Structure 1
Amino acid sequence: MLNNVVIACHTLSDELNLAYALTNCTYPVIWIDSEYHSDPNKLRKKLQETVDSVKDADNLLFAYGCCGNGLVGIHASTANLIIPKTEDCISMVMSKPGEKYERVKETYFLTKGWIESSKSISKEFENALKKYGLKKTKMIFEIMLKNYKYLMLIDTGAYNVAEYIPKAEEIARMTSLKLLLEKGDIWFLIKLLKGPYDEDFCVVKKGEKVTVEHFGFTDKDSFHQDSIIL
């Protein structure tokens, strides 16, 4: 039996835990704090340290997408790397088997994991309020969110979405964005745990490095990031 280890972002904890329950998976998980998502270079450094620290694994299964190029450049120093061929975790939970998810333009995405994250938009708004007061905070967020019109709460099926609608409504009000509710899925995470590792995944052999080409992108491609740094 293969010795697999999962490396996962904490924002996907509800979704991954459900995938574990549905598949009866027993692979060990190394959780990575969501704070690293705000800087692809810091994320890459943290993930490389994690890869280097794993001993006696055959495959490291990443509950990550390309994540703003944060996974590009990681060296498969200790095991093969299996990575969903998606732009990021939003694309991962919004895609359907055999279909690439096309983002709704001008949309900022939320799940329970992102709402509760230390880098969530609501926490950043609260931090800005303490620093700058209401008037300046609203002005800052109007500038930062000038390219957004919508706020989408994704029902991944891994949590009670009704409990988070009020919070999403509050965020929509304070950011002047229109709230949308959409259904997501965790099939990608289930397939990450069960396989097969086909065209839906980047398979990076031990000794190789992750490239943008593994994800089907080119160096000229730009990547969406849902992080706001104050």
Structure 2
Amino acid sequence: MIVACDTLQLHVEAAQEKMGTHYEVLLLDSRLHAQPEKMNEAVFEAIAGLPAQVDTVLLAMGLCGGSVSGRPFPRRTVIPKVDDCITLLLHKDQTWRPNLKECGHFYLTDTLEGRLSIENMHRRLTEEYGEEDGGDIFDMWFANYKSVDIIDTGAYPCRSESYLEKAKRQAALVNCPLTYVDGSNLLLEKLVSGQWDHQFIVAEKGQVLEQAAFSV
């Protein structure tokens, strides 16, 4: 059984197709990431609520602000050993790295219209504070960004005309160049196919993971 953040839905599907697996997938609402304690609660409730015959859960997400730490796992759970889903998609080889993001880079994947997209952050701020004040807050948030990067994993049509049109709007809002960076679906392919090596944490039933476990 796979439990996944819905931002990774297409990537989980692509991984299963490539590796020939057909596990049922339970998707969690990515909006919960705005409050990591809510995502934490949702993760553990989802795992606990699975049918009794499920003895191992494949968790398709990273630490994500503590979303998978601090509570005993209701059943054996396998997790990519990364800080978040961006780093998960940036892994391209067998070398474990807890964080592959570069400072000043805003990363885009297949979900351009979610709550945490650049356009929606701008919209919410201007609706709440007005065009001028909301715009100033938005500009302050993104003052130190220097690039908007599309992660090309091969799992979604990131070079299509329709995708690029949306991505260019995001980059224009923060006055940054739009670039491509190479990523891959490697970790999810390993997750679904049982290749749980040093790039993963296998938490046994009842085990509690602390956040430090994802960085050592």
Same fold (TM over 0.5): yes
In the alignment, which residue of structure 1 is the partner of 2:69? 72
Q: Does 1:36 align with 2:32?
A: yes
Structural RMSD (CA): 1.6
- Name 1:146's counterpart in structure 2: 143
2:128 is matched with 131
Aligned residue for 1:62, secondary structure, equals: strand
Query: Partners of 2:70 and 2:143 in 1: how far apart?
Result: 31
Q: 2-side partners of 1:137 and 1:82: how far apart? A: 41
Say which of 74, 81, 89 aligns to 1:85.
81
Matched residue type, 2:179: L
- Structure 2, unaligned stretches of length 5 or more? none
2:104 equivalent in structure 1: 106
Aligned-pair identity in percent equals: 29
**1:105-159, Cα deviation, whole Å (9 max, x unpaired):** 211111112x132332212222333333432232111121233222111122111
Alignment-derived partner of residue 14 in structure 1: 10
User: How far apart are the structure 1 equivalents of 2:8 and 2:113?
Assistant: 11
In structure 2, what residue type is equivalent to 1:127? R
2:57 to 60, 70, 75: 60
- What SS does the aligned partner of 2:77 have? strand
Give, in whole Å, the separation in 1 of the partners of 2:46 and 2:209.
Answer: 15
Letter of the 1:109 counterpart: Y
Indicate the residue corresponding to 2:170 in structure 1: 171
Matched-pair contact (CA < 8 Å) for 1:7–1:31? yes
Q: Is the 8 A contact 1:106 1:147 kept in 2?
A: yes
Normalising by structure 1, we get a TM-score of: 0.85
Show CA shifts across 1:37-87 (max 9, x none): 11211110111111111122121111111112221113211x201000011
Mapped contact 1:34–1:119 kept (Cα < 8 A)? no
Task: Report the secondary structure of 1:61's partner residue.
Answer: strand
Q: Pick closer, same or farther for the CA change 1:74–1:164 going to 2, 3 Å.
A: farther
Distance in 2, Cα, partners of 1:67 & 1:149:
23
Kept after mapping to 2: 8 A contact 1:138/1:175: no
Structure 1: runs of 5+ lacking an equivalent: 218-230
User: Partners in 2 of 1:10 and 1:67 — Cα distance?
Assistant: 13
Moved more, 19-28 or 120-129: 120-129
Number of aligned positions between the proteins: 211
Report the secondary structure of 2:102's partner residue: coil
Scaled by the length of structure 2, the TM-score of the pair is 0.91
> Following superposition, which runs of at least 4 residues in structure 1 exceed 4 angstroms of deviation?
none
